[in-house]
Amino acid sequence: MATKVVYFIVDGNKEQAEFRSDDSRDDLKETFRAAAEAGPEDILKLYNKKGNLLNISPKLTENTPDTRYTLEVVATHCNEAQKGSHLGVDISMIESRLGQLETRVYVDNGELPAIVKDLKIKVEQFKEKLESVDHLSWLGLTKDISCGTSLKPFWDKSQSHRKTEQHSRLVFEKFRKMSFVQVTDEVRGYLRKPTFDNWQWDDPEMLILLRQMYIDLGFISKFNIEMPVLHQWLYEVYKNYNNVPFHNFKHCFMVTQMMYGLTWLIDTPSLLDDLDILILITSAICHDLDHPGYNNAYQVNAKTELALRYNDISPLENHHCSVAFEILEKHNCNIFRNLPKEQFRKVREGMIRCILGTDMAKHNEILINFRAINNTTKFDFQNKEHKSLLLMILIKVADISNECRPMDVAEPWLECLLQEFFNQSDVEKLEGLPVAPFMDREKVNKSSSQIGFIKYALLPLFESLGELFPVIEEDIIKPVRTALDYYTEMHRALEEEKKKRESVGDMSKQNGITQPSQNKVSA
């Protein structure tokens, strides 16, 4: 059996590992995990001498003791017992002191010691743990809510989960330092696949990958985009995604990554204009800017500032568009500033149309119109109306594409979405507003939430696109059908378990036995 030896450094120690040609990706990761003394849920990153990020896989290139790789543990999971208000810890003070230390180290030495990096990661994760505690604690459950709540009937932008300027600057500084590093061909290829796993990448790395999309699609030269302007635009976009459970910067990245993957999968450059592809990718990046974590139904029912401003018509999507062009109004952030006026007008019209099209209230209308074209006439890529509908369909597919991905990537996203739904429905109950059943933690679980959505929203949309582009069957449609089978089986198992518990309860009543109460089981 052929073997190869890989040399690397971890925590300042020189190590080496021997791999067989039939070792799996998991085998390699476990070996590196053991070398780094990392836990099963810790995230590892491997870099070469140039600082390029390497994919830990059986294709990893054999090296020499003089070209050792660097292995780092970049994220670790905090213990659940660290939940925090009980600890009396002032996280903001720790963050501030750590930020000052980091800034001073950068200025003085230009290199951040590993121990400070590790401390920064742990503080960030601890903060995330605090913020993930049942959100009601942040709404004031410790006070007497019988006399009313401090929640405002209007969405207060200042109260949304906005990133601190300090946090954003730290991310940007890391992004800027990494911008001089070349992305490997292996990562560039992986970036084009629907199986891409976002959970392995941190925010600065995702900013680098967004930049790479613009480079590999030729936008830099075709539209004369200046690299410093692209960097500043990406930074402003990043700042304007809030720390909400689902509609956050990672969601922005994943939607854009799927849009990028579809571009290569269906070969849109051979079918659409360069300007159309620029519209699709840029719209995907901007499509949920400044999302507050509460949907349009809440905006309308609570009579928020956004609902009043936009007359209850797609208030969030209109807001996302508005923020996108507010950013582009800044000269140093305007990636379109070298476009001729007519091209910019087309980009603006296209982006507004695409972003407004992500409102699920318009889902059926857009899908029916697209099907009508496919069923009655041959799709014409030169027809303005046909092409406009296709762009909206493509961004809609990308927006709700999580179930196209491997289950270990998709399922955490579903948990994030349900958390955002539950947060909203809890607030709606406190404010006496209507609550949608699919967002009520007492009425929905993972399986029940997905079965109907996949059957009546995802598959009809994806299959309609598949009629025009059969090439997406294997990578896009088939995984969604697999996901439907998975959640159907999960739901069946839950129903059987529920019937068993009810049967035991009935028998106990008949025999005069009182059973202890059981917690509701949901998956």
List the one residue out of 49, 56, 63 whose CA is nearest residue 16: 63
What letter represents residue 135's amino acid? H
Q: Report long-range pairs for 451-458 (Cβ below 8 Å, ≥24 apart).
A: 451/484, 451/487, 451/488, 451/491, 454/403, 454/480, 454/483, 454/484, 454/487, 455/484, 457/360, 457/363, 457/400, 458/400, 458/403
Ligand-binding annotation for 288, yes or no, is yes
Residues 214 and 257 sit within 8 Å (Cβ to Cβ):
no
Interacting residues of 426 by C-beta distance below 8 A, sequence separation 6+: 135, 136, 441
Task: Give the integer Cα–Cα distance in Å for 449 and 488.
Answer: 11
- Is position 247 annotated as part of the catalytic site? yes
Ligand-binding annotation for 250, yes or no, is yes
Task: Give the integer Cα–Cα distance in Å for 515 and 505.
Answer: 7
Structure tokens at 184: 């490997």
Ligand-binding annotation for 469, yes or no, is no
Ligand-binding annotation for 440, yes or no, is no
Q: Which listed residue (135, 247, 291, 386) is catalytic?
A: 247
Task: Give the integer Cα–Cα distance in Å for 261 and 194.
Answer: 6
- C-alpha dihedral over 430, 432, 437, 439, to 10 degrees? -40
Ligand-binding annotation for 251, yes or no, is yes
The whole-angstrom distance between residue 249's C-alpha and the CA centroid of its chain comes to 6
Ligand-binding annotation for 248, yes or no, is yes
Q: Tokens 């004031």 — which residue?
A: 140
Task: Give the integer Cα–Cα distance in Å for 266 and 469.
Answer: 7
The CB density around residue 279, as the number of other CB atoms within 10 Å, is: 23
SS3 469: coil
Ligand-binding annotation for 249, yes or no, is yes
| Residues paired with 70 in a beta bridge | 9, 47
Ligand-binding annotation for 167, yes or no, is no
List the one residue out of 232, 254, 225 whose CA is nearest residue 347: 225
Residues 171 and 203 sit within 8 Å (Cβ to Cβ):
yes
Encode burial over 114-141: b for 16+ CB neighbours within 10 A, e otherwise: eeeeeebbbbbebbebbeeeebeeebee
**Which residues are designated catalytic?**
247
Binding-site residues for Zn(2+): 251, 287-288, 399
Binding-site residues: 247-251, 287-288, 399, 450
Binding-site residues for AMP: 247-251, 288, 399, 450
